[in-house]
Structure 1
Amino acid sequence: MTKVDLTVSKVPETSPKWLGKYGKVLYPKIAAYLNKNSKIIRADEYLVQEYCSAYDIYRIAYADIQEHGIQQAVYKTAVSPLDGSVVSRDFSGYRKNPAYQMMSDSLSKMNQIGRELGLSPKARSQMMELNSPNDKNEESVDDQLKEFFK
């Protein structure tokens, strides 16, 4: 059986055509950064695409909030049954801009995927811990397996 080296084929640095404008800009930057990590393989491409797609939604929702505000006024409109004309338009309060929930959801998704890809300081340190054994006298997994199969 031949051994397949999964680290050779890394995440492509060209963004997929279907990504939105913000995701297309972010994708090559994230891919180039991640490809420097020895633990990133081609199979992680899907996570990078998902991360950039969530970023695109985040930016669109953020722009909507900037334009329309975090909350929106709600009005109750009364219409005449005779001719369909507006009789009154009464203010009934405020509601949260739906874009806020979209922004929040996409930010949560980005944080989740970012941890998986090692994009946060804590995730990076955990990935680095996987490389080095806790105790220098401790045998590596390869050495333990060799000993076991003797």
Structure 2
Amino acid sequence: MANVDLSKPKVPTQAPKWLGTYGKYLWPKIANYLNKNPKILRADEYLVQQYCSAYDLYRTAYDDIQENGIQQAIYKTSVNPVNGDIVNKDFMGFRKNPAYQVLSDSLNKMASIGHELGLSPKARSELSELSEPTDNKKSISDSMREFFNAKS
């Protein structure tokens, strides 16, 4: 395994300023965890930004659902055209809180990105199976030649 300089974090431990409150809270936890993994690269910071941003949306949507419920009542309001007074409010049924879709989408995005970053047991085992790059690696053209010359 290659020597890893843990004194220089690959993913900054300071969250970007533009990130929301929940994302900023999660950022250092994820960054510290990922910086211990030798398979993580500096380029993975973009994935961490996406993950923390999705987490921020998830938590914001969750808070909205907690406050306003999973579904919302729909009313049709009739007003007097002369003076604008409300004449009648008819109950039309319920609709799903729009925050539920945001919550669902952000959870799916977090699952996908989390897998890429190795944040689940299965993803970690897949990451550990990746081979380390070696200095005596074949060129791409040699690998392609070998692939096409291999007998089935």
Compute the TM-score of the two structures, normalised by the length of structure 2. 0.81
User: Match of 2:72, as an amino acid?
Assistant: Q
Matched, 1:10 2:10: yes
Aligned to 1:94: 94
Matched, 1:107 2:107: yes
Aligned to 1:45: 45
Task: Please give the alpha-carbon distance, in whole angstroms, between the structure 2 residues aligned to 1:13 and 1:41.
Answer: 14
Task: Please give the alpha-carbon distance, in whole angstroms, between the structure 2 residues aligned to 1:126 and 1:40.
Answer: 13
Task: Please give the alpha-carbon distance, in whole angstroms, between the structure 1 residues aligned to 2:45 and 2:129.
Answer: 23
The secondary structure found in structure 1 opposite 2:72 is: strand
- Describe the shift of the 1:17–1:143 C-alpha distance in structure 2 as closer, same or farther (beyond 3 A): closer
Aligned to 1:145: 138
Q: Aligned runs of 1:63-78 on 2, under 5 Å?
A: 63-78=63-78
- Asked whether the equivalents of residues 9 and 41 of structure 1 are also in contact (C-alpha less than 8 Å), the reply is no
- Describe the shift of the 1:77–1:55 C-alpha distance in structure 2 as closer, same or farther (beyond 3 A): same
RMSD after superposition:
2.3
**1:144 Cα deviation (Å)?**
7.0
- Asked whether the equivalents of residues 9 and 35 of structure 2 are also in contact (C-alpha less than 8 Å), the reply is no
Aligned to 2:116: 116
User: Match of 1:16, as an amino acid?
Assistant: P
The secondary structure found in structure 2 opposite 1:32 is: helix
Runs of 4 or more off by more than 2 Å in structure 1?
A: 140-146
Task: Please give the alpha-carbon distance, in whole angstroms, between the structure 2 residues aligned to 1:109 and 1:93.
Answer: 31
Q: Aligned runs of 1:21-36 on 2, under 5 Å?
A: 21-36=21-36
Compute the TM-score of the two structures, normalised by the length of structure 1. 0.82
- Describe the shift of the 1:16–1:60 C-alpha distance in structure 2 as closer, same or farther (beyond 3 A): same
Task: Please give the alpha-carbon distance, in whole angstroms, between the structure 2 residues aligned to 1:145 and 1:54.
Answer: 39
User: Match of 1:145, as an amino acid?
Assistant: K
Residues 69-90 of structure 1: CA distance to partner in whole angstroms, max 9, x if unpaired? 1000000000111111111001
Aligned length: 135
Task: Please give the alpha-carbon distance, in whole angstroms, between the structure 1 residues aligned to 2:91 and 2:36.
Answer: 56
**1:142 Cα deviation (Å)?**
6.1
Task: Please give the alpha-carbon distance, in whole angstroms, between the structure 1 residues aligned to 2:51 and 2:90.
Answer: 42
